Amino acid sequence: MGNFTKGILKENPIFIIMLGLCPTLAVSTQVVNAIGMGVGVIFVLLGSNIFVSLLKNFIPEKVRIPSYIVIIASFVTMVDLFMQGYAPSLSKNLGVFVQLIVVNCIILGRAEAFAKKSNVKDAVLDALGMGVGFTLGLLLISLIREVLGSGTITLFAIGNFDGVIRLPGLSESPVRVMALAPGALLVIGYLKALFNWTEARRSKEATA
């Protein structure tokens, strides 16, 4: 179980290990993007972790990285194709960042750091934990950015509901910069500082 929970807080890929930052910042303009991206990453992580751990003895050391990358790229392509076919607007919003899941540092990082040494069950748990941790981090960032930067919370359109919750007042004149590039960097910077601060307080209290 520890393999699952560690990814969510203690080794949160975004806030603690600080990997996979590009998609985190680029697609966090809307909550729905964060969910889509998160699902995509979980899928790829699962797939790659399973296959890497299955094939750990088969893959020769010399072509380890290329092999992992091929495995990862295959799953990414699948996600990409399915998104294009069945969730076209999401696919458009995420742009190249779907394909860029390949180079999302988390995925190769987990393959290298964990899956290649573990059995399938642990690899699955690790993938799920990391994926969920990534998604939660992404959700947090996108929630802050979308609420501040657009005054809305965009979810899925169901029936009559167009999927957008509009916050009165803020949605008419939002802090638009928060939805743009600077906002992303500022939000993650302050969130990381908050993490550092609480972490420091926790460790101080733990010893006191």
Ligand X SMILES: Cc1cc2nc3c(=O)[nH]c(=O)nc-3n(C[C@H](O)[C@H](O)[C@H](O)COP(=O)(O)O)c2cc1C
> Is the Cβ–Cβ distance between 117 and 52 less than 8 Å?
no
The answer to the question of residue 47 lying near ligand FES (CB under 6 A) is no
Segment near another protein (CB under 8 A), from 35-43, 125-133, 136-144, 188-196? 188-196
Residue 131: both structure tokens together: 């994926």
Segment near another protein (CB under 8 A), from 4-12, 31-39, 80-88, 123-131? 80-88
What is the rounded CA–CA span in Å between residue 23 and residue 100? 8
The answer to the question of residue 44 lying near another protein (CB under 8 A) is no
What is the rounded CA–CA span in Å between residue 133 and residue 200? 21
> Is the Cβ–Cβ distance between 21 and 14 less than 8 Å?
yes
> Is the Cβ–Cβ distance between 3 and 127 less than 8 Å?
no
The answer to the question of residue 157 lying near another protein (CB under 8 A) is no
The answer to the question of residue 181 lying near ligand X (CB under 6 A) is no
What is the rounded CA–CA span in Å between residue 70 and residue 120? 19
Buried/exposed code over 166-196 (b: 16+ C-beta within 10 A; e: otherwise): eeeeeeeebeeebbeeebbeebbeebeeeee
CB of 172 to ligand FES, least distance (A): 34
Q: Which of 9, 81, 180, 193 binds ligand X (CB under 6 A)?
A: 180
The answer to the question of residue 200 lying near another protein (CB under 8 A) is yes
CB of 192 to another protein, least distance (A): 4
Q: Which of 34, 50, 108, 132 binds another protein (CB under 8 A)?
A: 108
Q: Of 112-141, which residues contact another protein (CB under 8 A)?
A: none
The answer to the question of residue 185 lying near ligand X (CB under 6 A) is no
Interface with ligand FES (CB under 6 A):
20-22, 104-105
